[in-house]
Amino acid sequence: MKEEVGDITLGDLKKWPLSVRVMIGLGMVVFFVIFAFYPAYPMTAGRSLVGWTWAACNSYNGFLHGRLVPLIFPWMIWWAWRCRKEEVVKPSYWGLIWVCFALILFWASMRSVQPRWALFGMPLLVIGLAQYLFGGRIAKAVVFPAFFLWFAIPVPGLEAFLRGQWTEDVIEVAVMVGGWCGMSLVRQGRTVIETGTDIHFAFG
C-alpha cells in the first residue's frame, strides 16, 4: 500500500506540483481550524479543543507548563525534518489508519464531552499524517515530538499523586535498594538517614 514519489527527498518538497502543496496546506489549515475554533465542547471553558486545553492548563491544577507544549512542538518537528531531509519521500496509505483512530477519538470526545480523549489521539494524527504524506521512515522521526503533545493533557490530581503516594513508594524503594547495597538506612517520615553518619536524604 505504498506509492513512491520518484526520488524526491523530504528536503526537496518544493519540487512537488503546486497543486499538491496547496492541497496539503489546505488540509493542515482545516485541521487547525477544527481543533482551534470549532466549538466541539460548547458547555466547557474555551469551547474548542485548543481553547479548553489552554484554559485547563493553569496554575491552579499545576499544569501551567502545558501551555508551553504548542510552542516547543513546532521546533521539535523542524528538528525531525532537519534530521530526515535526505530521506526519500514514500507516501503510505497505512498512515490513514492512525488518522482514522485519531478522528474517532476526537468524535468520541465530543459525544462524551471528554476533551482529553481527543488530546490522547493527537500523536496518532501527527504520526498518521506524516506516514501518509511522507512515508514510514519519516513518520518514525516524528514519534517523539508527537507524543510530546501528551504533556499538554491536564490530569487532575497528578501533582498530588506525585507528592503523595508516589513519593512514599520512592522512599520505600530507596530504603530497600540501600539495604541490598549494604547501607544501614532508617526512615523517619520522608527523610532517610544512614545510621552512624550525618548523611540524610529528604524526599518531597
How far apart (Å, rounded) are the C-alpha atoms in residues 101 and 106? 9
pLDDT 10s digits, 66-105: 899 989 999 989 888 888 888 888 888 999 999 999 999 9
How far apart (Å, rounded) are the C-alpha atoms in residues 180 and 20? 62
Residues 6+ apart with CB under 8 A from 197: none
pLDDT at position 182: 59
Distance of CA 119 to the CA centre of its chain: 8
Any idea where the domains of the chain sit in the sequence?
10-155, 161-202
Residue 192, H or E segment: strand 191-194
pLDDT range class, residue 164, cuts 50, 70, 90: low
Average of per-residue pLDDT across 160-167: 56
Is 32 buried (19+), middle (13-18) or exposed (0-12) by CB count in 10 A? Answer: exposed
Euclidean distance between the first and the last CA atom of the chain, given in angstroms as a whole number: 52
Q: Find the angle CA(70)-CA(121)-CA(29) to the nearest 5 degrees.
A: 55
Is the predicted pLDDT of residue 175 greater than 70, yes or no? no
pLDDT at position 121: 93
Contacts 24+ apart (CB under 8 A), 31-37: 31/125, 35/118
pLDDT range class, residue 181, cuts 50, 70, 90: low
The DSSP code sequence of 45-102 is TTSSHHHHHHHHSSTTTT-GGGGGHHHHHHHHHHHHHHHHTTSBP--BTTHHHHHHHH
pLDDT range class, residue 151, cuts 50, 70, 90: confident
Helix (H, G, I), strand (E, B) or coil at 121: helix
Is the predicted pLDDT of residue 161 greater than 70, yes or no? no
Write down the pTM of the prediction: 0.72
Average of per-residue pLDDT across 45-55: 89
